[in-house]
């Protein structure tokens, strides 16, 4: 049985470990810690199975700017599952739970830079045709957007500006 819940301070070391193991490096773990330390984590959820924390997902705010306006959105990054628990649907459950919680919190738009065959299952579509671009040079098919409220992007567009911590990892 898998339980998904918000992180607590007691979970921080396990979250760092999960991100390090899932990505085989420290960058994602450090990103999460920097965002947390700046109170820039809008949502941080963990997956618990048999009293062990096996997965983590984080969301943080971004701004989408155009010449005419700017508006807030949220980015999904990172999502991590311990290697021995991958390919069991835990990441998908974290993503669905996180996106639903973002919707419940009133967020309307989510962006993600990720695998173009993974994120469409949650409703993400390429961002560029929706008028959304990334401030970094990224593969167009890997930069995606999801409207949590239908029509949230109608008449809107612009360049996504990430938290400074993201710029350090790019």
pLDDT digits (tens, 9 = 90+) for 87-118: 999 999 999 999 999 999 999 999 999 999 99
109-113/158-161 β-pairing: unpaired
The pLDDT of residue 12 is 97
Place of tokens 């040079």: 137
Under DSSP, the state recorded for 115 is -
Q: Could you give the CA distance from residue 97 to residue 90 in angstroms, rounded to a whole number?
A: 10
- Low-confidence winner among 64-68, 81-85, 91-95, 123-127 (lowest mean pLDDT): 64-68
- The phi-psi region of residue 81 (left if phi > 0; otherwise alpha if psi is between -120 and 50; otherwise beta) is beta
The domain total for the chain is 1
Helix (H, G, I), strand (E, B) or coil at 22: helix
Q: Which domain holds residue 48?
A: 2-169
- Per-residue exposure over 19-42, b if at least 16 CB sit within 10 Å of its own CB, e if not: bbebeeeeebbbbbbbbbeeeebb
The pLDDT of residue 20 is 97
2-6/125-126 β-pairing: unpaired
User: What CATH number is attached to the domain comprising 32?
Assistant: 3.40.630.30
Burial of 1 (0-12, 13-18, 19+ CB in 10 A): exposed
CB under 8 Å to 40, separation ≥6 — which residues?
A: 60, 61, 163, 165
């Amino acid at each position: 049985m898998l339980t998904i819940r918000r992180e607590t301070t007691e979970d921080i070391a396990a979250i760092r470990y999960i991100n390090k193991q899932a990505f085989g490096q420290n960058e994602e773990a450090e990103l999460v810690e920097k965002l947390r330390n700046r109170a820039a984590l809008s949502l941080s959820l963990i997956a618990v199975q048999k009293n062990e924390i096996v997965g983590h997902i984080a969301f943080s705010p971004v701004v989408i700017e155009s010449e005419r306006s700017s508006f807030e959105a949220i980015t999904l990054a990172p999502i991590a599952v311990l290697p021995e628990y991958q390919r069991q649907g835990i990441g998908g459950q974290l993503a669905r739970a996180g996106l639903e919680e973002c919707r419940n919190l009133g967020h309307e738009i989510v962006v993600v830079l990720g695998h173009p065959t993974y994120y469409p299952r949650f409703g993400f579509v390429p961002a560029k045709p929706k008028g959304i671009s990334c401030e970094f040079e990224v593969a167009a098919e890997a930069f995606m957007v999801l409207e949590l409220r239908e029509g949230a992007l109608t008449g809107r567009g612009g360049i996504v500006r990430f938290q400074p911590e993201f710029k350090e990892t790019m």
